[in-house]
Amino acid sequence: MENIIPLICETAKAAGKLALERRKNFEDVRVFSKETPADLVTDVDREVERFIVERLKKATPEFGFIGEEYGVTEGSSGWAYCIDPIDGTTSYVHGSPVFCVSIGVLKEDEFYAGAVYAPQLDELYYAEKGKGAFLNGTPIHASKCRSLGEALCATGFGCIRAGKEKNNLEYFVKIVPQLQEIRRTGSAAFDICQVAAGRFDGYWEFYLHQYDIAAGAIIAMEAGALFTDVNGEKEYLEKGLVCAAPGVHPLLCRELH
């Protein structure tokens, strides 16, 4: 779709600046718990999502919306935005720089375009189907790593935050001793983009939501990373996500069975 990348990139950057501005007076920010005490949301998450929706709706009124805070709004075109206004809310609350605004574009439920902006780092990742992936205007590519022993990977524990009985700890204990190193940023969108940029060689996590992955997915795939569930299929939300360099992806999938 013409001009979709400038639209979502400019919107993501403006939304990120809004989030940063609000954090300057953090004593005025209200913090709430969702389903569990560890699952945080702030009034800034909600304010930023409203800002994004209002801006995008003016430009493309026929699009639907899938947002973390305000749910689903049907559109009339088969196109939809998938929005996580602050991915990494816990980091945002604690003053960590690793949080981001994530705006994905779906065409008939397929990943089409995405923009992920980490405002405190001033890093803008974006991609459109068939046109490559970029970080601040420079093309990015997945790494050429081919072994777990040389791999820097990332993971997350949304499963624990959600209070799931079956969680990632058993896989973490199994996989980490085989890696060169592991990282934990607290933002699925950011982790996926690090794989796209070749900074991480792989990432896995369970119990993610569509708004967590929609923008990062197309960025990773356009950068040459593999983006599947643990079985190499597309049931990312039900079976768990593996996003990795082509040489690492099958190795991670094997360990996650």
Active site residues: 68, 84, 86-87, 89, 212
The secondary structure of the chain as a DSSP string is: -TTHHHHHHHHHHHHHHHHHHHHTTGGG--EEESSSTTSEEEHHHHHHHHHHHHHHHHH-TT-EEEETTTEEE--SSSEEEEEEEEE-HHHHHHT-S--EEEEEEEETTEEEEEEEEETTTTEEEEEETTS-EEETTEE--------GGG-EEEE--HHHHTT-SS-THHHHHHHGGGSSEEE--S-HHHHHHHHHTTS-SEEEESS--HHHHHHHHHHHHHTT-EEEETTSSS-HHHH-EEEE-TTTHHHHHHHT-
